[in-house]
Amino acid sequence: MTLNAARTLLLEIDVQNDFCSGALAVQNAVEVIPPLNALAAAVTAKGGCAAATQDWHPWGHSSFASSYSGKSPGDIIDTETVNGQVLWPDHCIQGSWGAAFHEQLNLDPVSFIIRKGLQKTLDSYSAFFENDRRTPTGLEGLIRGLGIETVIIGGLATDYCVFYSAMDCKRLGLATIIAGDAVRGVDFPAGSVDNAVKEMKKNGIEFISSAELIGRLK
């Protein structure tokens, strides 16, 4: 199956310093960068688009364990906006080194940056909606305006922001593909990466290598 490059968006999820080597580092995270760079170059060279998401949290964010007395990273609580919020170490604080994109990620082909998790009381895993599952990030409107039909997703982390972004993308009626060699997961709790992959595949989300995707672009 060929891909109409002009109707394709590459969505690069949260390739930021804190997720690569900082406060919330994902194992082998930097391995996603070469295939993402190759895909971005290929998609945009053929008339498609590339976008990147960026966690952009204020100090004292509701997803930080440090915002609550007696809580630790990994605890799960109900907040004023969502139930079942996982608490994390402080990460991707607005304007910090940890929030910046990794220096090896080539942003030259990237036309749009979607910042998420800006509200102090509301986290955001999905590139499309905040964690209340109602508040949009603006990405869907951008995609509709560009006439995009297919979204290729890669980045961090497989079992959180990649998973929620892909599931929302599919639910919104877009052909959704995971660049299989361009994702890495947290695997918290243990088994969450396998479960996320199974759930995505069950919902018709394809996993295809970056090299094969580049070969399919027309």
The residues annotated as belonging to the active site are: 14, 116, 161
- Picking from 106, 110, 71, 103, the residue whose alpha carbon sits closest to that of residue 87 is 71
Residue 26's contacts (CB-CB under 8 Å, 6 or more residues apart) are 19, 20, 156, 157, 184, 185, 186
Beta strands in the chain (DSSP E): 8-13, 49-55, 76-77, 85-86, 112-116, 150-156, 175-184, 206-208
40: tokens are 């971005």
Using omega within 30 degrees of 0 as the cis cutoff, is the peptide bond preceding 65 cis? no
Query: How far apart, in whole angstroms, are the C-alpha atoms of residue 34 and residue 182?
Result: 8
Name the phi and psi angles at 95, rounded to 5: 80, 0
Residue 132: CB atoms within 10 Å: 13
What residue has token string 């986290």? 123
